[in-house]
Structure 1
Amino acid sequence: MTPDFVIKDPRSRVELRLRGDASSQERLAFLNDASTRIGSTLDLTQTCREVVDVAVPRIADASGIMVQERLITEGEFPGHPTDSAALVRRPATAVAVDNPWDWATAFPAGEVTVYPPYLPQAQAMATAKTVRIPYIDQTIADDNARAFGRPIIARLLLGGSFLITPLIARGNVLGYLVLVRQPCSEPFQEPDAALAEELAARTSICIDNARLYHRERRTALALQSSLLPARLHHPPGLEIAHRYLPAGDLAGVGGDWYDVIPLPGDRCALVVGDVMGHGISAAATMGQLRTATQTLAILDLDPGELLFHLDNVARRLNPDQIATCAYVTYDPATGAVAMASAGHVPPLLVPPGGEATPLPVVPGPPLGVGGERLETCTATLPPGGMLALYTDGLVETRDRTVDEGIATLCSLLSGPPRALERVCDTIAEVRRQADERDDMALLLARAVERAT
């Protein structure tokens, strides 16, 4: 059974059911309670689950919610304000009945379907008006069963009562809330319809908010993904591996990027950066800075000089956004490494089979802040040694400091040599388990053992 099929004790109906003659204060108290429980997150499925959880058993024995599939998958309103032939999905169902497994079979959570126009569900979608059926006769029950090829539907609905209320936001029908009472319960009355419409109105606002949130997040992720390199340059003398994990929510989707840029004389530059801020604007700025870095790299500047010029570019692009960046050059002929940091976490050096340690880079101001020339530091990458560049989303969490995170990353990188892809997988899995709300970029480069 999925978590989106909610089962409640049918005996709770006696104690909790809002009676047909309930006072206006009782109905208002129910709606106030619903407002505090619905929309606790910006997850659309969770919102739908909260709605049916509120409705059952307070006003119905069973409840399901249907949302237009396009709204769920694309975050877009349908092409027409009302549409009885729209493809809809049932994100959640709740029941307080003696035979819950029969209801799960008849009305499975997650089902995607189209309701025939002769059914009351489709009529609510077509008219944007509540449909109340005090008594479900044999014809209505059989029509529902026939439409989905499940005879059990007729048996469950016959003799009960229907209340189908459209979910409307910005003049568009997003779907509908369906409430069912069994023959043993009092049929739906006009006051129940008014109450359901209030509940649906509040639900529609939450669903629309979730739609907008997920649409912006999908857009930011799509933009960010399109601006990251599909295939990195593999320079002579280095093995390269990389990972990028997006944030778990929009508040963390920013502008992490990484790159490997060829330089004259078989040398290369390794770059990792992070635009501060979130959403589409940060992702767009990231793309501009990545392009600017590639352009400046053609000039073959030393790392500190390059980041100085990149800072000037950043201030012209968007003075309201700043970024951090680590820029490292490597010469396979000598193993020489030169690096500079604009407010970025330090690269790590892992000697062959040894322990990872942060490189002694002197961090300057972030891009977009400075105007200062940054110091270029040097080191040597021995054959078989590895460099690790990363963003702070990998090491800084709500529960640990950056220094603690770097120490943890060093422990994951240390030890006997392993395939770079395997190392990346291990680090990415640790990051996934932490469920952090920030992007993460990781770039590993290992010096190939030179033949003797």
Structure 2
Amino acid sequence: MKPGFLIKDPRSRARLRLSGASTTQERLAFLNDASTRIGSTLDLEQTCREVLDVAVPRFADTGGIMVQERLITEGEFPVRPTDGTALVRRVATAVAAENPWDWDTAFPVGEVVVYPPHLPQGQAMATAKTVLVPRLPQSVGDDHTKAFGREIIAKLLPGCSFLVAPLLARGNVLGFFVLLRQAVSEPFQEADVALVEELAARTAICIDNARLYSRERRTALMLQSSLLPRCLKTPPWLEVAYRYLPASDLAGVGGDWFDVISLSGDRTALVVGDVMGHGVRAAATMGQLRTATQTLASLDLDPPELLFRLNRVAQQLDSDQIATCVYARYDRAAGTLQIASAGHLPPVLVQPAGVAGRLPVLPGPPLGIGAEPYEMYETALPAGAMLALYTDGLVEGREWNIDEGLDKLCALLTGPPLGIDRICDMIVRAQCPNSERDDIALLLAKAV
């Protein structure tokens, strides 16, 4: 079943159908029901399905929603040609008829087309006004067949009552909302126009909100991606693998980051951080903190001193945003690992024998809060041992709390040695089974 193609029971028309004799109270009840059911999410396609689920068969036998293609692909208002010949995509259709698959063949979901200006749909887009045709003549069906090359359209449309309303938002035509009643049903009347226009107006607002949401999420993801390392430069004495997964929605798109920084004297810094905001602002703060960390690392500071100075930088950047960060410095010659934490989750160390456990790093205050010093934890990192740094999106979920997530992570890391990239993939698959998640950053570093 196509997700945008709704098949409704045609037998329910007699019981649910609003007719020309419907009272004002019945029509207001219809609009109230539509208001509660439309726009439950900020997903454009879901919104269109919700609209048609309300309208068919309660108001029409079939219906469809077309949205301008550029608005879907780019999130921008397209330039509307004066003749209405705009590229539009059929986002959803609904059918309450005995032959639903004929309608799907005639008007397939996902089709991207241009409606000629002489067709009612093109007229509605060009004039930004509703078009009502009480009964479609055969000539209109033939014109549709000629325009789209499907003979079945000429058999379905003639005799239907036809109502098409433009979807208007911010003075722009987003697309159109089309409803049809078959020849066996009562035709649309002038009294129906106001009702459809109200429904179209509410639909357009929801579609525009979905457009803005999608555009902001794309912007945040693009900014995030541009500020994260594209290719980490790793020293020959460390094997490094990493994974970064953006959040599943805008509310979760934040400022997770990771880095591997070469230091003097065969030493390497390993960094993972998480800005506690969301959207473009958090991504921008993340980029600033990552740059500041790289600059401070070049001064060859101990991890506690580096985080202390980074905390001061964070307070100067934005007093309303805070972040967590863990900074580890690996000394190849000494075989040691020095770590300091600014409110971050504990690193996990996997011993050469394959046993994983949390490191007892005492977390100091998050970046952007207070002026307390940070403490340093030191441990050995022998050949074959591996350090895991991560953000909370990896270990926190709806099904478990952070402690349970940490236990699961340690269990996954415990066992016979595997390739480090394979370990990354295994952890991400196991810890993130569904699409509803926060940002995730995972950095693994194995001494060789």
Distance in 2 between the 1:18 and 1:430 partners? Answer: 51
The AA in structure 1 aligned to 2:373 is: R
Q: Counterparts of 1:229 and 1:32 in 2: how far apart (Å)? A: 50
The count of residues paired between Structure 1 and Structure 2 equals 448
1:159, 1:40 → 2: CA distance? 35
Q: Which amino acid aligns with 2:280?
A: I
Q: Find the residue that maps to 1:339 and give its secondary structure.
A: strand
Query: Aligned letter for 2:86?
Result: A
Q: Tell me, what secondary structure is at the counterpart of 1:67?
A: strand
2-structure distance, mates of 1:418, 1:110? 44
Please list the CA deviations of residues 13-66 of structure 1 after superposition, one character each: whole Å capped at 9, or x if unmatched.
111111111111110000000000100111110000001111100111000000
Q: Counterparts of 1:395 and 1:370 in 2: how far apart (Å)?
A: 27
Q: Provide the residue aligned with 2:223 in structure 1.
A: 223
Matched ranges for 1:202-241 at <5 A: 202-241=202-241
Closer, same or farther in 2 for the Cα pair 1:53/1:436, shift >3 Å? closer
Q: Which amino acid aligns with 1:113?
A: V
Q: CA deviation at 1:333?
A: 2.5
The equivalent of 1:174 in structure 2 is: 174
Instruction: Give, as a single letter, the amino acid of the residue that structure 1 aligns with 2:381.
Output: L
Following the alignment from structure 1 to structure 2, what is the Cα–Cα distance between the partners of residues 401 and 428?
17
**Displacement of 1:315:** 0.3
Give 1:314's aligned residue.
Answer: 314
- Residues 1:19 and 2:8 are matched in the alignment: no
Instruction: Tell me how far apart the structure 2 counterparts of residues 404 and 277 of structure 1 sit (CA, whole Å).
Output: 24
Residues 83 and 343 (structure 1), Cα distance of their counterparts in 2 relative to 1, 3 Å cut = farther
- CA distance in 1: counterparts of 2:370 and 2:407, whole angstroms: 29
Structure 2: gaps spanning 5 or more residues:
none
Q: Distance in 1 between matches of 2:335 and 2:107?
A: 65
1:362 positional shift:
0.8
1:37 aligns with 2:51: no
Amino acid at match of 1:8: K
Partner of 2:256: 256
Q: Deviations over 1:370-405 (max 9, x none)?
A: 211101110111211111000011112233221111
* Residues 372 and 193 (structure 1), Cα distance of their counterparts in 2 relative to 1, 3 Å cut: same
What one-letter code is carried by the residue in structure 2 that aligns with 1:116? P
Corresponding position of 2:437: 437
Which residue in the other structure is 1:165 paired with?
165
Q: What is the distance in 2 between the residues matched to 1:287 and 1:412? A: 31
The answer on whether the counterparts of 1:274 and 1:325 sit within 8 Å (CA) in structure 2 is: yes
Report % sequence identity: 70
Q: SS of 2:396's equivalent? A: coil
Q: How does 1:37-116 map to 2 (within 5 A)?
A: 37-80=37-80, 84-116=84-116
Distance in 2 separating the partners of 1:431 and 1:31: 43
Q: 2 CA distance for matches of 1:430 and 1:167?
A: 43
Q: Matches of 2:102 and 2:362 in 1, distance apart?
A: 67
Q: Does 1:134 align with 2:148?
A: no
Query: 2-side partners of 1:131 and 1:279: how far apart?
Result: 41
Question: What secondary structure, in the 3-state scheme, does the structure 2 residue paired with 1:277 have?
Answer: coil
CA contact (8 A) 1:388 1:445 kept: yes
C-alpha RMSD over aligned residues: 1.2
Tell me whether 265-274 or 348-357 shows the greater mean CA deviation. Answer: 348-357
Identify which range, 400-409 or 170-179, moves more after superposition. Answer: 400-409
Partner of 2:190: 190
Superposition deviation, residue 83 in structure 1: 6.3
SS at match of 2:444: strand
Letter in 2 for 1:24: T
1:118 deviation in Å? Answer: 1.5
The SS at the match of 2:10 is coil
Greater CA drift, 86-95 or 255-264: 86-95
- Residue identity opposite 2:24 in structure 1: S
Q: CA deviation at 1:146?
A: 1.3
Residue 214 of structure 1 deviates from its aligned partner by 1.0
Query: Retained in 1: the 8 A contact 2:354–2:413?
Result: no
Structure 2 CA distance for aligned equivalents of residues 78 and 34 of structure 1: 27
What one-letter code is carried by the residue in structure 2 that aligns with 1:66?
Answer: M
Q: Which amino acid aligns with 2:219?
A: T
| 169-178 or 400-409: bigger deviation | 400-409
Distance in structure 2 (CA, Å) of the matches to 1:86 and 1:356: 59
1:269 aligns with 2:269: yes
TM norm structure 2:
0.98
Give a deviation string over 1:67-122, Cα, whole Å, max 9, x none.
Answer: 11111111111234866122111111100000111111111111111111221111
CA contact (8 A) 1:390 1:441 kept: yes
Secondary structure (helix, strand or coil) at the match of 2:236 reads coil
Unaligned residue ranges in structure 1 (runs of 5+): none
Secondary structure at the counterpart of residue 433 of structure 1:
coil
Cα distance in structure 1, aligned partners of 2:437 and 2:82: 37
Aligned partners of 2:383 and 2:447 also within 8 Å = yes
Q: 1:142 to 1:40 in 2, by over 3 A?
A: same
Residues 431 and 93 (structure 1), Cα distance of their counterparts in 2 relative to 1, 3 Å cut = farther
Q: Is the Cα contact below 8 Å between 1:166 and 1:174 reproduced in 2?
A: yes
* CA contact 1:82–1:128 (8 Å) conserved in 2: no
TM-score using structure 1 length: 0.97
**Partner secondary structure for residue 109 of structure 1:** coil
1:363 is matched with which residue? 363
